Amino acid sequence: MTGTSPPRARSREETIRILRDVGVIPVVRCNSADIAAHVTDALVEAGLPIAEITMTVPNAIEAIERLAHRYASSSDGEQRALIGAGTVIDAEFARRAVKAGAQFIVSPGLVREVVDVARSAGLAVLPGALTPTEILAAAGAGADLVKVFPVQSVGGANYIRALRGPFPDLPLVPTGGVDLDNTAEFIRAGAAAVGVGSELISREALARGDYAAIGARASQFVSAVKGARQAVATTKRA
């Protein structure tokens, strides 16, 4: 498939809207491009139309390209699921991901060259940050959403809640230690979305090839976000 034109990209604004509306960004780390494709299929079938394929997956660019075409609409070329590239730490990987059809780019930290590549291509970009200084730097560099990583190591949802004081309008995506038990708390604390890795796509399920279990878990995370948002809305109306 390499060498074929990527599907028509969504607008950056539309990608951001979907990431925020769905509220769960699955971080796909596994041992092969084939497994990444199977995991993504399970996520989409379960109603979670987003997958962040990390560059630590062998042949990750191939997986992104394959999935970008698989989830392209036959009518207009627009992707029916958002396929992103994660753990992007240099401009070359960012350019390759863009060429393969990635719709958003995620980094564990702020790499300005990666942000520049994504913005030049019209893609959403989520650089990582942890401290208030780093979060401000990421926002100033052009982040569409800021990945707060590793959030559980510095207080979890309470940390996000504290950050909302000085940064009420910055869309924060806590990642690292997010699980089904604390997802709702992160949303109530003000997170725009959550990034979830092994707590959604467990090593045990991958070892068994149990993609149905991954899909079931994905549905639970989506429901947790929806329920938390409904509770927040009800509280605001009261």
Instruction: Quickly count: other Cβ atoms within 10 Å of residue 231's Cβ.
Output: 13
> Has 113 been annotated as catalytic?
no
**Are residues 109 and 127 in contact, defined by beta-carbon separation less than 8 angstroms?**
yes
The structure tokens listed for 20 are 């925020």
* φ/ψ of residue 4, rounded to 5: -80, 155
> Has 52 been annotated as catalytic?
yes
Residue type at position 161 = R
Using omega within 30 degrees of 0 as the cis cutoff, is the peptide bond preceding 127 cis? no
Choose the catalytic residue: 62, 65, 147, 185. 147
* φ/ψ of residue 85, rounded to 5: -110, 130
Q: Could you say which DSSP state residue 5 is in? A: P
Choose the catalytic residue: 14, 52, 134, 236. 52
Sign (positive/negative) of CA torsion 107, 26, 206, 43? negative
Contacts of residue 152, Cβ cutoff 8 Å, sequence gap at least 6: 176, 177, 178
**Are residues 40 and 209 in contact, defined by beta-carbon separation less than 8 angstroms?**
no
By annotation, the residues acting in catalysis are 52, 147
